[in-house]
Amino acid sequence: MSPARRASRRALSITPAGDRHAAPLTRLLLVEGRTELRRPRTLVTLVVLALVPVVIGLGVSVHAADPGADRPGPGLGLITAVSGNGLMLPITALGVVLGLLLPLCVCIAAADALAGEAAHGTLRGLLLAPVSRIRLVWIKAFGVLVVAVLQVAVVTGAGLLAGLILVGGGDQLLTLSGSSVSLGAALARLALAAGWTVLQVAAVGAVALAVSAFTDHPLVVLATVLGGVIMFGLLGAIPALDWLRPVLLTSGWASLSDVLRDPVPGDGLTHSALLAGVYLVIGMTGAIVGTLRREA
Amino acid sequence: MIRPDRSGTICSPSAVVTSEPRPDGAMRPDRAARTSVPPAARLRGLRKVYRRTVALDSVDLEVPTGAVLGLLGRNGAGKTTMLRLLLGLSRPTEGSVELLGEPMPVGAARALPHVGALVDGPGFLPFLSGRDNLARFAAAEPLVRTSAIVEAVDYALHRVGLDREAAIDRPYRGHSLGLKQRLGLAAALLAPRRLVVLDEPTNGLDPAGIRDVRRLIGELRAAGSTVLLSSHLLSEVEETCTHVAMLSAGTVVATGTLTELLEADGPALEISTTEPHAALAALRTGRIPGYAERGLVIADLVDTPPEVVLSTLASAGVPVSEARRRRTGLEELFVRLTEDGA
């Protein structure tokens, strides 16, 4: 049978799915997640993020092997604390990438989600299917969240492996307070740190998605949001603007190191988590407003 | 039931003229659109302003169900803007849009599952293959069952002649212009459609591709779908469409069936003869209005059937080598209408 005949015979088995007005949500979410994972940029960000803890691990082990390493290195901070303390590496790595690399990576995903789709002309195709605009925002937010979770998971996982293999001392965690914590409790703290980081990154992602909803140019999203992250960092560093710090998302990021203290002080982590929640709500509202107003 | 004239009747001398040019050059609204079957699409008093640019102004148009309506206009006349408003991709500044009886953009969820569209060129993700891109869109189609996504993609590819194309499984970014365009057409055909909107469908296609698009439009029409087609190619519209709307500087300057527009100057017979003076004299004697033009004798058919003209000439002994119904031709009409407006 010719391919044409086969195709037309197959066509006979296509029956419309009733008078449905929208495709099933799970199907759309599944396709969105799969598309995100096949995006070359997503894969590149995952590789780059995985390299960070490995590089830290290598640096720490080389530093430890250096006979003149007794001198405290300037500005190494958390990294010196990792020395011989492998379980601290993943949390340290999360703190390092949260500064700029992780916001950049999640921004790339959010920029592609709406602005990038608009630039490729695919947003039109989805709206014409039709996927309702509000639904589209939630689907896109899901895609960005999937990427954010993966990015944090990769840093955490690679950090854990690098810590255990390159740094060693993985039977217990030596906290910044000087006490020791068992492997199980250390992993629980790691999970807390990872979850908290996902929330922070999701907040950045939501704001980026909002910007993404208002533009057709993915680079505008990157410039705006990363510019914002850097600007927030500057504002947070100015003593005269101390009163502003409680509302700056980036100022809360320092509280990640609280996870490494014993007992864990909850104030900073809770406040920064709530703040991230507020940014998340603002970002999603902006994304919905922008998408509803958008000329596709 | 509306039976729009088939494009094949363009050359038939029996075509009936149903409307006359209005003083402003615009045509009356299509008669068929006033019958009881609701139109597939209806635009009323549509106006669209981008910042300070008026893209569309007071556009009224009905797309009769079952018709193949060609939207003609130069680049920048507002064709794509109009289609985007029709599909709810963009909101009108003023006026109303109805698509398959649903007000747009509010009724998008009810109307759009039955509408396939290729607007503003094909749009696909560059890193996915053509096939995977189609599967992604098929997954978003309400009328395609999850288990039928692969079949829907295969069938759409088959309809645009891509079922044997190997490149379809390679990333979209490397596709040729023609392949991209065909994929765009396939995306419009992923589900059974009541209306198919094609914005410049033959862009980037080779002659074989253009023929395929014509065949596709014919198939859609035969299956009962309404087709709305925009183009700046007059020949394309003349060969595929039953109805025509001409757009110039953001407003509709003429609508009607293809036949109505082709005979917009009034029916007349063009007669080739070696003795034009004798022919004119014979027409005068028979009280048939006529005149000479570019070596032809033109006989007015408003009050006289062509048979009478021919028998008058024959009985006067005028040698007639050829007689045919005069067609203004879309091109002439188009140039005249759009140059006045622009």
- The tokens of A56 are what? 């830290």
A173 falls within a domain: yes
Query: What residues in B contact A20, CB-CB < 8 Å?
Result: 113, 142-143
Band the pLDDT of B28: cuts 50, 70, 90. Answer: very low
- Which pLDDT value is given to residue A18? 60
Q: Mind listing the pLDDT tens digit for each residue in A19-38?
A: 678 888 999 999 999 999 99
- Which pLDDT value is given to residue A69? 52
| Per-position DSSP letters for A99-141, written without gaps between them | HTHHHHHHHHHHHIIIIIHHHHTHHHHHHHTT--HHHHHHHHH
C-alpha distances in Å from residue B179, one per residue of A6, A34, A64, B205, B227: 22, 24, 59, 8, 22
**What is the C-alpha separation between B66 and B63, in angstroms, rounded?**
9
Question: CB of B170 within 8 A of CB of A11?
Answer: no
* CATH no. of B268-325: 3.30.70
Residue of B nearest to A25 (CA): B140
Mean pLDDT of B203-223: 90
| Per-position DSSP letters for B28-42, written without gaps between them | PPPSGGGSSSPPSEE
A21 falls within a domain: no
Domain boundaries, chain B: 7-20+27-262, 268-325
**In this predicted model, which residue has the larger pLDDT, A294 or B236?**
A294
Q: Which of A41-55, B34-48, B217-231 has the lowest mean pLDDT?
A: B34-48
C-alpha distances in Å from residue A3, one per residue of A103, A190, B159, B214: 49, 55, 12, 22
Residue of A nearest to B111 (CA): A21
A144 falls within a domain: yes
A9 falls within a domain: no
Give the β-pairing of B195-199 and B243-248: unpaired
- Residues near B263 by Cβ (< 8 Å), separated by ≥ 6? B15, B17, B325, B326, B327, B328
Q: Is the dihedral of CA B54, A286, A110, B138 positive or negative?
A: negative
When CB atoms are compared, the residue of A13, A20, A28 closest to B139 is: A28
Query: What residues in B contact A27, CB-CB < 8 Å?
Result: 139, 146
Phi and psi torsions of A106, nearest 5°: -70, -30
Q: Is the pLDDT of residue A2 over 70?
A: no
Rounded to the nearest 5 degrees, what angle is found at the Cα of B15, between the Cα atoms of B11 and B20?
115
Q: Is the pLDDT of residue A287 over 80?
A: yes
Query: What residues in A contact B123, CB-CB < 8 Å?
Result: 120-125
Residues in chain A: 296
Helix (H) or strand (E) holding B257: strand B251-257
Its ipTM equals: 0.85
Mean pLDDT of A79-94: 84
How many domains are there within chain A?
1
Which residue type sits at B2? I
Largest CA distance in chain A: 80
Q: Would you call A181 helix, strand, or coil by DSSP?
A: strand
A22 falls within a domain: no
Domain residue limits at A130: 30-293
Question: CB of A65 within 8 A of CB of A183?
Answer: no
Q: Which of A46-60, B94-108, B245-259 has the lowest mean pLDDT?
A: B245-259
Residue of A nearest to B154 (CA): A7
Q: Do B89 and A124 make contact, defined as CB atoms within 8 angstroms? A: yes
Residue of A nearest to B191 (CA): A16
Query: What residues in A contact B133, CB-CB < 8 Å?
Result: 122
Q: Shortest Cα distance from B166 to chain A (angstroms)?
A: 13
Query: What residues in A contact B191, CB-CB < 8 Å?
Result: 16
Q: Do B157 and A20 make contact, defined as CB atoms within 8 angstroms? A: no
Band the pLDDT of A292: cuts 50, 70, 90. Answer: very high
Q: Is the pLDDT of residue B318 over 90?
A: no
Overall fold of domain B7-20+27-262? Rossmann fold (3.40.50)
- Which pLDDT value is given to residue A68? 58
Mean pLDDT of A83-96: 88
- Which pLDDT value is given to residue B234? 81
When CB atoms are compared, the residue of A10, A22, A35 closest to B142 is: A22
Residues of A with CB under 8 A from a CB of B: 3-4, 7-8, 10-11, 13-17, 20-24, 27-28, 30-31, 35, 38-40, 117, 120-132, 295-296
Q: Would you call B182 helix, strand, or coil by DSSP?
A: helix
Q: Shortest Cα distance from A160 to chain B (angstroms)?
A: 32
Residue of A nearest to B48 (CA): A295
Mutate to test the interface with B, among A14, A20, A27, A292 (most CBs of B within 10 A): A14
pTM to 2 decimals? 0.82
- Which pLDDT value is given to residue A271? 93
A254 falls within a domain: yes
**In this predicted model, which residue has the larger pLDDT, B35 or A222?**
A222
**In this predicted model, which residue has the larger pLDDT, A100 or B13?**
A100
Q: Is the pLDDT of residue A92 over 50?
A: yes
Question: CB of A153 within 8 A of CB of A201?
Answer: no
Residue of B nearest to A291 (CA): B89
Phi and psi torsions of B283, nearest 5°: -65, -40
Q: Do B158 and A3 make contact, defined as CB atoms within 8 angstroms? A: yes
Residues in chain B: 342
Question: CB of A207 within 8 A of CB of A283?
Answer: yes
Question: CB of A148 within 8 A of CB of A109?
Answer: yes
- The candidate with the shortest Cα–Cα distance to A106, out of A97, A96, A119, is A97
Q: Is the pLDDT of residue B36 over 70?
A: no
Q: Which of A99-103, A108-112, B164-168, B325-329 has the lowest mean pLDDT?
A: B325-329
- Which pLDDT value is given to residue A78? 61
- Which pLDDT value is given to residue B2? 36
3-state secondary structure B91-109: CCCEEEEEECCEEECCCHH
Tokens 């709206």 found at: A127
How far out from the chain centre does Cα A108 lie? 10
**In this predicted model, which residue has the larger pLDDT, A295 or A279?**
A279
Q: Do B112 and A128 make contact, defined as CB atoms within 8 angstroms? A: yes
% of chain B residues with pLDDT over 90: 44
Return mean pLDDT, chain A: 88
**What is the C-alpha separation between B257 and A278, in angstroms, rounded?**
58
Q: Mind listing the pLDDT tens digit for each residue in B119-172?
A: 999 999 999 999 999 999 999 999 999 999 999 999 999 999 998 888 999 999
Q: Mind listing the pLDDT tens digit for each residue in A133-169?
A: 999 999 999 999 999 999 999 999 999 999 999 888 7
Query: What residues in B contact A14, CB-CB < 8 Å?
Result: 144, 148, 151-152, 155, 192
Q: Shortest Cα distance from A198 to chain B (angstroms)?
A: 27
Q: Shortest Cα distance from B274 to chain A (angstroms)?
A: 55
**What is the C-alpha separation between A28 and B136, in angstroms, rounded?**
9
- Which pLDDT value is given to residue B34? 47
Q: Is the pLDDT of residue A178 over 60?
A: yes
- Residues near A162 by Cβ (< 8 Å), separated by ≥ 6? A53, A54, A56, A57, A58, A89, A93
Query: What residues in A contact B80, CB-CB < 8 Å?
Result: none
- The candidate with the shortest Cα–Cα distance to A130, out of B125, B191, B93, B39, is B191
Question: CB of B136 within 8 A of CB of A35?
Answer: yes
- Which pLDDT value is given to residue B196? 95
**What is the C-alpha separation between B141 and B135, in angstroms, rounded?**
10
- A vs B, Cβ pairs < 8 A, gives 125
The 3-state DSSP composition of chain A as helix, strand, coil percent (nearest 5) reads 80, 0, 20
Task: Starting at the earlier edge strand, list the strands of the sheet with B296-300.
Answer: B290-293, B296-300, B268-273, B320-325
A187 falls within a domain: yes
- Which pLDDT value is given to residue B29? 45
Q: Is the pLDDT of residue B269 over 50?
A: yes
% of chain B residues with pLDDT over 70: 87
Q: Do B89 and A122 make contact, defined as CB atoms within 8 angstroms? A: no
Phi and psi torsions of B276, nearest 5°: -60, -35
Query: What residues in B contact A291, CB-CB < 8 Å?
Result: none
Question: CB of B120 within 8 A of CB of A122?
Answer: no
